[in-house]
A and B are shown apart, each in its own frame.
Chain A
């Protein structure tokens, strides 16, 4: 029986991280120069890790698939970043941020990791301000905060509706400086295609140069995966077009456990789907729920008339509107966590109260806020989001309410890591959205940016030294070794196999089919029957993919369709793993909602007795069912309760 060792340090919750730092092993400056680290990805986690490790003196190789590190999808995060500064004097503290995050995650995250996250959150804000990140300020010159879902304090720092952009540009600046000082070497338009393992340790990667199509080998003493989540398994998501889960799956196939794959977040405020050619979904920041009120008509006939275009939302009288979040959750109202808000929208639409021409939309209304604050203030706060909405939908949200509907947004699951952010493969680390560590079954708003930067700036630079300290005698590796040879050949064979299918269907057409299966059976409401159906349908789709796919062009050349095909092959596997994990978890928690397990009021029904664990999936080979191990979640410090946002 494999036991999972998460390496949580001894001591009281608030002392664990200090104790760890006080006793961990370090690498001296002369030895750092002799150690190489590969960082894959340049989002918040990747760029901050690469910059910080470079500054410390390690030799860093940093890879991204885009033309510049600044394009990573962290750039699109809108709302803000949480920290326990308590600048507003509203009762915030490290403990409260920890508690809100644990509770928001429906008690499926590790206490020790989440507490560390809350502890380092304040340093992140200091660091970003020092880099010149232009956060919003009060007239007195001090930093401003806003509130976000799942919290009763205002702890969110923001830069208009472009916080992710500004934080990423800060990290990109630091990275650029490290490149200039030759501490980091940058590889843009390169995609990791396999992990190389030598003597059971991660020692390098095979990457495909996306401009020439050539496979290249890179060796290092440690490899850090910061490649984000796998939300694009659903085809339509708020992720960027090229966001993918392939690096994580390559690690999984080489032996790294994949943790909680079923934990995916459906974001409540996205612009609804408009047609069959739609390529992606656009998020409207959760910060809008600070001032916007969500409603649908109270009467079925009004909803019907709106769908048919006979009535406008502004025709519906105040008394005929159902502000369902305020009605169901008086204490948190429109600011309930994302999973709760998403399910409530689905419930209303399924019951026939949905609006828009598809009936799959609800209103997010700013009329009250405009009356209360004036149009100018609303514009100052949300102007860029309103403009974005108007360009897409061709409707003016200052005059008619916005329409929104839930969409897949973030994946809490990911590569399993221990307290040191090391995976089950020695020398392989994972940070940011790519790991599973801090958000449990549901992530709170403005916490993704916090976690990405916490991992990259303040956690990994410490913990990776504990591993590297006994590697100082290991000389640099040659990439001519049999292990590199074999890994490259396996990739090359796979590419040849893909090119030789010579079928009739494009990558996108098959990806869309996968998306439909995922949304219908592995989406917001899951049940055992549906999940079994999904597994069957995904198996069929896999066959379809490997017999009917058509990729034009050559493999040893720039080939965008081949890039997409490689990623889709992994999304298909990912989809199956998500369904398996969801089927195993006979409870509802956070973003994972099984219709069989709900309270009479329709709220998630958790089963702490049987499912208080992290499911860690181990790959067993192609076409073999993976094996699951359990990492028990012992709550030593917090008493688990049913999440209550009503009173």
Chain B
């Protein structure tokens, strides 16, 4: 049964990318465990505004775990201690009375801090622009049922396509690698006949862009898979490596 709890939240505050950041600790009383983590932050911000202070800036939008906007590093884990959820789906019942909760932004070379807990993830858009698509224009495409696709292939493609682009994989990786994100898109499209045609070109272009934007290399620690709110599997990384190597051999 959900209770009300008293907590301390230790939050990273940073005014701008260039200024130095610091932790500030706030006390919150009578927080319902039925509240979501972000509702707890709403309560904190309401309190700060009423005290004439500046609220904590953080990214969030759909609050149902699908838009990928929320991005908090809570008690050492991206999206917090619960499994298979985004920060917005995390509930206060995962915390106990008297606990101190540490909240940080994603920390990675690829994602510079904008303010407080908000970071710039436009690098993911740039990687997508480098090749994360099937090159078809609108119109003039064949009937949807003209190419049957085996159910298991379609399901595997869907597993990879479930990535929400939040960046938890990068945030948790000691190398700051974006391989799980890139491999999910490469796998989804390589598994389907529609995307197969450009698979090699896509893998090369997306990996090159990822390297260019300062993301690190993958050393197979598997942390990304552990922390991914959508359980994207690292077998996708193996598939990306295969695509990438075979493309290189052909060159």
Determine whether B19 belongs to the interface, using a CB cutoff of 8 Å to chain A.
no
The answer to whether A283 touches B64 (Cβ under 8 A) is yes
Determine whether A22 belongs to the interface, using a CB cutoff of 8 Å to chain B.
no
The answer to whether A126 touches B142 (Cβ under 8 A) is yes
The answer to whether B154 touches A68 (Cβ under 8 A) is no
| Residues from chain A with Cβ under 8 Å of B59 in the complex | 67
* Residues of chain A from 139 to 154 with CB closer than 8 A to chain B in the complex: 139-143
| Residues from chain A with Cβ under 8 Å of B136 in the complex | 127, 130-131, 174
| Residues from chain A with Cβ under 8 Å of B145 in the complex | 85, 87, 142-143
CA distance A162 to B158 in the complex (A): 10
The answer to whether B192 touches A132 (Cβ under 8 A) is yes
A132-B195, A188-B122, A279-B36 given as contacts; is B134 within 8 A of A173 (CB)? Answer: yes
A166-B161, A506-B50 given as contacts; is B144 within 8 A of A173 (CB)? Answer: no
CA distance A85 to B145 in the complex (A): 10
Shortest Cβ distance from residue A503 to the other chain B in the assembled complex, whole angstroms: 11
Q: Number of A-B pairs whose CB atoms are under 8 Å?
A: 219
| Residues from chain B with Cβ under 8 Å of A137 in the complex | 148-151, 154
A176-B132, A177-B133, A552-B54 given as contacts; is B150 within 8 A of A141 (CB)? Answer: yes
| Residues from chain B with Cβ under 8 Å of A123 in the complex | 139
Q: CB-CB contacts of A522-563 with B at 8 A, as 1s and 0s?
A: 000000000000000000000000000010110000101100
The answer to whether B55 touches A552 (Cβ under 8 A) is yes
A173-B134, A242-B61 given as contacts; is B49 within 8 A of A160 (CB)? Answer: no
CA distance A322 to B114 in the complex (A): 54
A–B Cβ pairs within 8 angstroms, 14 of them = A70-B67, A76-B66, A132-B133, A134-B188, A143-B144, A162-B66, A176-B133, A186-B125, A188-B125, A240-B67, A277-B39, A508-B42, A509-B46, A552-B55
CA distance A164 to B124 in the complex (A): 20
Of A195-203, A388-396, A490-498, the one touching chain B? A388-396
Closest partner residue, chain B, to A83 (CB atom):
B144
CA distance A359 to B174 in the complex (A): 49
The answer to whether B132 touches A552 (Cβ under 8 A) is no
Contact pick for A134, options B39, B62, B114, B161, CB 8 Å: B161
| Residues from chain A with Cβ under 8 Å of B43 in the complex | 277
Q: CB-CB contacts of B83-94 with A at 8 A, as 1s and 0s?
A: 011000101010
The answer to whether A55 touches B138 (Cβ under 8 A) is yes
A126-B142, A130-B141, A173-B133 given as contacts; is B61 within 8 A of A71 (CB)? Answer: yes
Determine whether A179 belongs to the interface, using a CB cutoff of 8 Å to chain B.
yes
A173-B128, A240-B63, A279-B39 given as contacts; is B189 within 8 A of A132 (CB)? Answer: yes
CA distance A174 to B134 in the complex (A): 8
A130-B141, A160-B158, A174-B138 given as contacts; is B65 within 8 A of A388 (CB)? Answer: yes
The answer to whether B141 touches A70 (Cβ under 8 A) is no
Secondary structure type dominating chain B contacts: loop
Query: Beyond A70-B68, A552-B54, A561-B55: 5 further Cβ-contacts under 8 Å?
Result: A71-B62, A127-B136, A186-B125, A240-B61, A277-B42
Determine whether B221 belongs to the interface, using a CB cutoff of 8 Å to chain A.
no
Determine whether B175 belongs to the interface, using a CB cutoff of 8 Å to chain A.
no
Contact pick for B39, options A68, A87, A160, A278, CB 8 Å: A278
Determine whether B81 belongs to the interface, using a CB cutoff of 8 Å to chain A.
no
Q: CB-CB contacts of A266-287 with B at 8 A, as 1s and 0s?
A: 0000000011011110110000
Determine whether B135 belongs to the interface, using a CB cutoff of 8 Å to chain A.
yes
Contact pick for A552, options B39, B49, B84, B120, CB 8 Å: B49
CA distance A550 to B47 in the complex (A): 12
The answer to whether A176 touches B154 (Cβ under 8 A) is no
Of A69, A126, A134, the most chain B CB neighbours within 10 A belong to: A134
